[in-house]
Structure 1
Amino acid sequence: MSNTVTRDTFDQVMVPNYSPAGFIPVKAEGSRVWDQQGREFIDLAGGIAVNSLGHCHPEVVAALTEQAGKLWHVSNVFTNEPALQLASALVEKTFAERVFFCNSGAEANEAAFKLARKYAADHYSADKYEIISCTNSFHGRTVFTVNVGGQPKYAEGFGPNPAGITHVPFNDIDALKAAISDKTCAVVIEPVQGEGGVLPADPAYLQAARELCTAHNALLVFDEVQTGVGRTGSLYAYQEYGVTPDILSSAKGLGGGFPIGAMLTTAAIAKSLAVGTHGTTYGGNPLASAVAGKVVEIVSRPEVLAGVRAKHQRFVDGLNAINAKYNVFKEVRGMGLLIGAVVSDEFAGRARDFLKAAEAEQLMVLVAGLSVVRFAPSLVIAEQDIDDGLARFDAAVAAVVAASRH
């Protein structure tokens, strides 16, 4: 069989649940990516907020290489040093007292939701199982997490759906107050809705959720799969808001490109996941843990977190300058280096047109829903790469406008 593969190979051998770009990246460094033809792209997508330190960061490569020469996998029949070191770092730097490792954001959320129900059953009643989530939220692709997520299109065709899940409008305190009851075991919120359009929570909303959960003996769960590990300018977004959850899910940027997820919680709540109640074969894998440990160490450096805030402003100023020329965005929003440009009514539902135009300009961006262009670059992206990337995005916007207005 030939070793030569092209984009056409995808359509011949892969399940068709994705529609990837027309080029295949083969090499990358920092925020620059090269495809099979040697063309250089600027990466403002970050693997969907995963490549927190860009591509092939030398310290992270060294951590992976060193661990690869020592120990790859032993399963959770045993523990290992990198997992214990990573868990210790997360406990030291957050509200958490206990950590559960897995492989993805969906698994971290699955563990969080199972723990919330188990804790309620242990301490209150088997009838206290309702989970309240937000419309337009996204919490993963398992049958459980996709139903907790507030986008019904992702659950269609996979029924019957799990019971006991209620959705309320995001940022609506009154709606949450009306929905929560003594049957509620958890309220789950993304501090910034990622897939739902890069929409930050109002501080008063998160504070009200905290107070309501406490009043009803429900657990407050923050899904920080996309906002975590420096993305907002703090290690986790809850620290930015000053509202502490009972359970937090983390993944994406945690491994900087190596698959790993984590659920963080308190010692008292963690007791409900006693031996045998939940598990994972790969969770806390030494390779993943060694990489994530180095990522957390680097991201936690004050200059990195301060840089995220400065780069946020550089991005926003650049996008606003583009918008002043073309008038295509009604709002630029987000926190840190999770930024969404909401297209104007003229281009409603056409965010992907801007993504495709960016590809033609050798630029990698994202969308969040049908009407938001999303940027989630490396947290240590060079200012020159931001400027060059925005120049290419300017050209992409010009192409979309020219095709639409002439």
Structure 2
Amino acid sequence: MSALFQNYARRPISIVEGKGTIVHDSTGKRYLDFTSGIAVCSLGHAHPALVSAIQAQSEKLWHVSNLFESPDQEKLAETLVKDTHLSHAFFCNSGAEANEAAIKIARKHTGKHHILVFEQSFHGRTFGAMSATGQDKVRNGFGPLVSKFTTLPFNDVEALKATIDDSVAAIMLELIQGEGGVNAVTPEFAEAIQEICNENDILLIVDEVQTGIGRTGTRFAYEQTVLKPNIVSMAKGLGGGFPIGGILGTAELFETFNAGTHGTTFGGNPLGVAVAQTVLDNVFQPEFLANVQQKSKYLVKKLKEAFPGEQYTIQGKGLMLGLSLGGEDVAPYVGKLDQAGLLTVAAGPTVIRLLPPLTVSEAEIDEAVAILKSTILE
């Protein structure tokens, strides 16, 4: 009998060591990690710069309360908002916490409570974030949820327009639904959302917990759309494996999110900030992002060559890609891929999600696609 609650459907692999894209389990077996901890290990496992950053910071200061000034938080915030329309940051510990903060600030700033969200979305498992999530399997069994969330079909312009009224405080969405199937927002839907927000004084919350920090080939996925969000939530890749999350917001929200509005004991702690700053110093370089885009094109090309049939589709952007098997259940294949030495993760029941480190090599891509092809087709 395990002393752990069994709230995770754990796979029978115990990862004990990793370097870059390669990990090893407790038996010594080697795997290509195309999960990156679900889009977390942006620079791969045990990246020397991150190891150095956390070692150096651990010898100076681990924790100090947010009661005191933090020049390192200030620097990290400035790095994140530089050359964007956003101006301020708040740091927490996870994506769910970031989305809770986004929901709170939207309600407080507008004085309204109604937030529009979308089917197959995933925003977290705390009560506010769970209430915003458009998947019954996440919400079932927990009783009454936080009220005033309306769930609409994703990419349905007419359904969105029909729901807009004076009660709406914000629209909240992922630009690529990671847990929901690697479904990307269409240009038409993005244009409609921005137009609706502008015309009705509605705040726009973009959840970039999985898509942010270079995952789609730009700093944030919204930069590839017409959208100008008022609030952006982030986590996962921000810490490269160390827990840190946060939100970015526009200048109009500064007075709303004032002293006493929100807080966290561990958010923005020195260890997390030191690692996150090192991640950004690497990922936010133009040549690094260009390299992510190039490797994305290479991976898509190889996948299309390996899976030419009409039943196979490749969706997503950057190094957040999904391989759809034409409606076939992917769960058995994920297990077989584990056995073959490739770690992947499902995105809904019919899509295999590929989330390699942003530092993945073309040789590792070739090896991964060969395993996918032999496991699924042969």
Contact (CA 8 Å) 2:190, 2:226: kept in 1 or not? no
Cross-structure match for 1:358: 337
Cross-structure match for 1:4: none
Map 1:227-242; keep pairs closer than 5 Å: 227-242=211-226
Cross-structure match for 2:279: 295
Gaps of 5+ in 1: 1-10, 122-127, 400-406
Deviations 1:157-178 (A, max 9, x none): 1111111110111111111111
What is the root-mean-square deviation of aligned Cα atoms in Å? 1.3
1:41 aligned residue (31, 35, 41): 31
Residues in 2 aligned to 1:76 and 1:383: alpha-carbon distance in whole angstroms: 43
SS of 1:381's partner is coil
For the pair 1:286 / 2:276, whether they are aligned, the reply is no
For the pair 1:338 / 2:320, whether they are aligned, the reply is yes
Residues in 1 aligned to 2:226 and 2:13: alpha-carbon distance in whole angstroms: 42
For the pair 1:109 / 2:103, whether they are aligned, the reply is no
Cross-structure match for 1:3: none
Residues in 1 aligned to 2:51 and 2:124: alpha-carbon distance in whole angstroms: 28
Cross-structure match for 1:147: 131
Contact (CA 8 Å) 1:134, 1:168: kept in 2 or not? yes
What letter matches 2:122 in structure 1?
A: F
1:54 aligned residue (44, 50, 70): 44
For the pair 1:262 / 2:246, whether they are aligned, the reply is yes
Residues in 2 aligned to 1:193 and 1:333: alpha-carbon distance in whole angstroms: 11
Cross-structure match for 1:167: 151
Residues in 2 aligned to 1:242 and 1:57: alpha-carbon distance in whole angstroms: 34
Cross-structure match for 2:236: 252
Residues in 1 aligned to 2:83 and 2:211: alpha-carbon distance in whole angstroms: 16
Contact (CA 8 Å) 1:361, 1:395: kept in 2 or not? no
What letter matches 1:243 in structure 2?
A: L
Q: CA deviation at 1:141?
A: 0.5
What letter matches 2:231 in structure 1?
A: I
What letter matches 1:241 in structure 2?
A: T
2:118 aligned residue (134, 147, 155): 134
Contact (CA 8 Å) 2:194, 2:226: kept in 1 or not? no
What letter matches 2:92 in structure 1?
A: C
Residues in 2 aligned to 1:79 and 1:396: alpha-carbon distance in whole angstroms: 53
What letter matches 1:81 in structure 2?
A: P
Cross-structure match for 2:256: 272
Q: CA deviation at 1:287?
A: 0.4
What letter matches 2:114 in structure 1?
A: E
Q: CA deviation at 1:204?
A: 2.1
Residues in 2 aligned to 1:153 and 1:297: alpha-carbon distance in whole angstroms: 38
What letter matches 1:211 in structure 2?
A: E
Q: CA deviation at 1:93?
A: 4.1
SS of 2:312's partner is strand
Cross-structure match for 2:358: 379
Q: CA deviation at 1:79?
A: 2.7
Q: CA deviation at 1:381?
A: 0.6
For the pair 1:205 / 2:189, whether they are aligned, the reply is yes
Gaps of 5+ in 2: none
Contact (CA 8 Å) 1:191, 1:200: kept in 2 or not? yes
> TM-score of the superposition, structure 2-length normalised?
0.97
Percent identity at matched positions? Answer: 42
What letter matches 2:293 in structure 1?
A: R
Residues in 2 aligned to 1:146 and 1:342: alpha-carbon distance in whole angstroms: 26
Of Structure 1 and Structure 2, which has the larger fraction of its residues in helix?
A: 1
| Deviates most, 149-158 or 109-118 | 149-158
Cross-structure match for 2:69: 79
Cross-structure match for 2:88: 98
SS of 1:243's partner is coil
Q: CA deviation at 1:182?
A: 1.0
SS of 2:2's partner is helix
| Cα pair distance change 1:318/1:305, threshold 3 Å | same
| Deviates most, 211-220 or 252-261 | 211-220
| Deviates most, 177-186 or 307-316 | 307-316
Contact (CA 8 Å) 1:45, 1:366: kept in 2 or not? yes
Residues in 1 aligned to 2:100 and 2:224: alpha-carbon distance in whole angstroms: 25
Deviations 1:265-286 (A, max 9, x none): 0122132122111111011111
Q: CA deviation at 1:15?
A: 0.8
Residues in 1 aligned to 2:55 and 2:217: alpha-carbon distance in whole angstroms: 28
2:12 aligned residue (11, 22, 33): 22
Residues in 1 aligned to 2:343 and 2:42: alpha-carbon distance in whole angstroms: 15
Residues in 1 aligned to 2:131 and 2:358: alpha-carbon distance in whole angstroms: 31
SS of 1:226's partner is coil
What letter matches 1:221 in structure 2?
A: I
Cross-structure match for 1:309: 293
| Deviates most, 160-169 or 74-83 | 74-83
For the pair 1:70 / 2:49, whether they are aligned, the reply is no
Q: CA deviation at 1:321?
A: 2.2
Residues in 1 aligned to 2:166 and 2:136: alpha-carbon distance in whole angstroms: 26
What letter matches 1:13 in structure 2?
A: A
Residues in 2 aligned to 1:95 and 1:48: alpha-carbon distance in whole angstroms: 28
Moved over 4 A (4+): none
For the pair 1:243 / 2:233, whether they are aligned, the reply is no
Residues in 2 aligned to 1:118 and 1:284: alpha-carbon distance in whole angstroms: 23
SS of 1:12's partner is coil
Residues in 1 aligned to 2:371 and 2:12: alpha-carbon distance in whole angstroms: 18
Contact (CA 8 Å) 1:329, 1:341: kept in 2 or not? no
SS of 1:118's partner is helix
SS of 2:82's partner is helix
